[in-house]
Amino acid sequence: MTFSASSPRTSPLAAVTRLFGRMEAGLWFPIGVVLSLFVFFSLSTSAFATLRNFSAVSGQAATLLIVCLGATFIVLMGSIDLSVGAIVLLVGATSITVLNAYDIGYLALPFAALLGAALGTVNGLIYAKGRIPSFIVTLGTLSVFSGIALTLLDGRAIQFNAVGFEDIAIGQLIPRLPNIALWAILAWAVMVFIGARTRFGRYMYLIGGGEQVARTAGVPVTRYKVYAFAISGLLAGLGAILAVARLGAAGPSLGSDLLLNSLAAIVVGGTSLAGGVGGVHRTLIGVLIIAILDNGLNLMGVSQFLQMIIKGLVVIAAVLVRRTSDAGQVVK
């Protein structure tokens, strides 16, 4: 008598269970918050769960996501960048001035990205070479960059006159999804790959986990700190020009809400301010939380002042949730 060995049949439920079993433990909380906010606002206002509103939310959240991606690497290595909003303002003001003066068209995109990278490199060089805390460096450049931008704008909004330039942001290659959201998704995918599969990404975790240990292991810490700030600036520059294309102008308020919102999204998404834990893959969830929160509260008619209070409390709560695993560590 012969026996044939049959392979065990895998049920769809078991496959799903294994998939969620492999999910990072730190992702459960932010994902739960996203689902809870979605249900709450869907029940609170009929205008929330509509295709039109989702299209608007994706456009609003895209700039925040792009800017957060670079800033996440800064936080991941245990530092902080307070100047991202100022870089967006300065790059937006400079780009629209150059665009109107020379009619460079779509070349404004690489121009803005390179200008942002240059500004980020300035931050990185002062921080890494001067051995000054990143908080102090970026607090200073926040004021410098903002001052230069407001001087260029002369305190007023400037519209661009390039015909069709707005299509890079508000056009829709995919129906109901603005192009700026596609840029954000593409940038997120690239940064996730860089964070998980490249030397740069691994070094960010090493530096955040212990800078002295990283130096002992042969990591060129100073150089990679500069790289991190350059990438943060590059993405802030890209976010700036896309925001200008979406809004049709650059004004004094451009990027004004990005400082609080970017830090909130990064922390709520699960990247530790102490460094070494998290990553850009989590930042997407944090951005969704902030975007849904903003949109839902606006639809409910909640005042801007109360919204600021709520977002501040969300950031504090997110830090408190992680305080046990981060005990004894400080932001560098």
Q: What is the pLDDT of residues 165-174, one digit of tens each?
A: 899 999 999 8
Please, are residues 150 and 157 in contact by the beta-carbon 8 Å criterion? no
Asked if residue 242 belongs to a domain, the reply is yes
pLDDT, residue 322, reads: 62
In a domain, 269, yes or no: yes
Alpha-carbon torsion (158, 163, 165, 168), positive or negative? positive
**In which band, very low, low, confident or very high, does the pLDDT at 140 lie, cut at 50, 70 and 90?**
very high
Is 7 inside a domain boundary?
Answer: no
Predicted confidence (pLDDT) per residue in 84-118, tens digit: 999 999 999 999 999 999 988 889 999 999 999 99
**Domain containing residue 246: CATH number:** 1.10.3470
Domain total for the chain? 1
* Residue 119: inside a domain: yes
Pure H helices in 198-279 = 199-209, 211-216, 221-247, 258-269
State residue 99's pLDDT score.
92
| Between 260 and 236, the higher pLDDT residue | 236
Is 6 part of any domain?
Answer: no
- Element holding 249 (H helix, E strand): strand 249-250
Domain-located, residue 281: yes
- In tens, the pLDDT along 48-61 reads 989 889 988 998 89
Q: Is residue 11 part of a domain?
A: no
**Residue 73 falls inside a structural domain:** yes
CA atoms within 13 A on the CB side of 304: 1
Show the domain range for 67: 27-321
